[in-house]
Amino acid sequence: AIKGFVFDLDGVVTDTSRYHAKAWGQLADKLGVNYPNLGDAVKGISRMDALEMILKKGGLENNYSAAEKEKLATEKNDNYVQLIQHMTPNDILPGMAAFLKELQANDYGIALASASKNAPTILDKIGLKDVFTKIVDPATLSHGKPDPEIFVKGAQLLDLKPEQCIGLEDAAAGITAINAANEVSVGIGSKDLLHEADINFADTEDVTLANIKAAMQ
């Protein structure tokens, strides 16, 4: 039986994926790289992996030293950190605060599997620090999404087997990771993008225990 939920953050709990898209877009423009659908492509992808994707798209992967790449990634992050400064609990996506309360009331485990090093800051700003006390530290990962490692570690933090967990994601790379971890995957957003998910919801508002149970029958 399902006993825990392992959450992605950006694009699932709060709408920060548009800020990531904006900050990466600014950097891609500066580098002269045209990257259609950049916002979707970087969803779930770690900071340095996302930078490498953009450089590769522009055929620039050999044009920058490791130190220069660090600088570019820092520049993107500085812009991103500016964009999240004003976040408040009003920025929790529709239905998510209620869903988290529902999980707590029913004694489900709750863990965070976000690739973002900014996750603790965001949780603090949106008032969910006390809900997400079990956070996989992305700095400890050998491989980012789509590798299953982060979702396997999320289950471990809950003292559960992966099969006892549901993973929630808005990113194609995240759904691949959940499936490879052997958890039940819930995709939130475009079904075209998230067709590999076990269960699909168009919006965060649709994510309730009743809807998940109905979809699992």
Q: Please state the closest distance from residue 60 (CB atom) to Mg ion, in A.
A: 26
Binding mask 10-39 for ligand BG6 (x = CB under 6 A): x------x--x-------------------
Q: Are 146 and 185 contacting, i.e. CB atoms less than 8 angstroms apart?
A: no
| Residue 162 preceded by cis peptide, ω within 30 | no
Q: Please state the closest distance from residue 106 (CB atom) to Mg ion, in A.
A: 24
Which helix (H) or strand (E) element contains residue 51?
helix 47-57
Instruction: Compare residues 11 and 164 and give the one whose CB is closer to ligand BG6.
Output: 11
Establish whether 116 is an annotated binding residue: yes
* DSSP character string of 60-125: -TTSS-HHHHHHHHHHHHHHHHHHHTT--GGGBPTTHHHHHHHHHHTT-EEEE----TTHHHHHHH
Instruction: Kindly give, in sequence order, each residue whose CB lies less than 8 Å from that of residue 127, ignoring residues fewer than 6 positions away.
Output: 88, 89, 92
Establish whether 65 is an annotated binding residue: no
Establish whether 170 is an annotated binding residue: yes
Stretch that binds ligand BG6, among 112-120, 128-136, 148-156, 191-199 (CB under 6 A): 112-120
Which of 27, 50, 93, 135 touches ligand BG6 (CB under 6 A)? Answer: 50
157-216 residues near Mg ion, rule: CB under 5 A: 170-171
For the sheet with 4-7, list strands across it: 109-112, 4-7, 165-169, 184-188, 199-201
CA angle 48–52–24, rounded 5-degree value: 75
Active site residue 137: no
Interaction of residue 50 with Mg ion, rule CB under 5 A: no
Query: With contacts defined by CB under 6 A, how many residues of the chain interact with ligand BG6?
Result: 18
* DSSP character string of 161-187: -GGGEEEEESSHHHHHHHHHTTPEEEE
Partner that binds at residue 20, options Mg ion, ligand BG6, none, CB closer than 5 to 8 Å by kind:
ligand BG6
Please give the structure tokens belonging to residue 37.
């659908």
Q: Please state the closest distance from residue 118 (CB atom) to ligand BG6, in A.
A: 4
Which of 44, 109, 148, 162 touches ligand BG6 (CB under 6 A)? Answer: 44
Q: Please state the closest distance from residue 116 (CB atom) to ligand BG6, in A.
A: 3
Amino acid at 185: S
Q: Which residues would be at the binding site for Mg ion (CB under 5 A)?
A: 8, 10-11, 170-171
* Residues annotated catalytic, as ranges: 8, 10
Which residues sit at the interface with ligand BG6, rule CB under 6 A?
9-10, 17, 20, 42-47, 50, 77, 114-118, 171
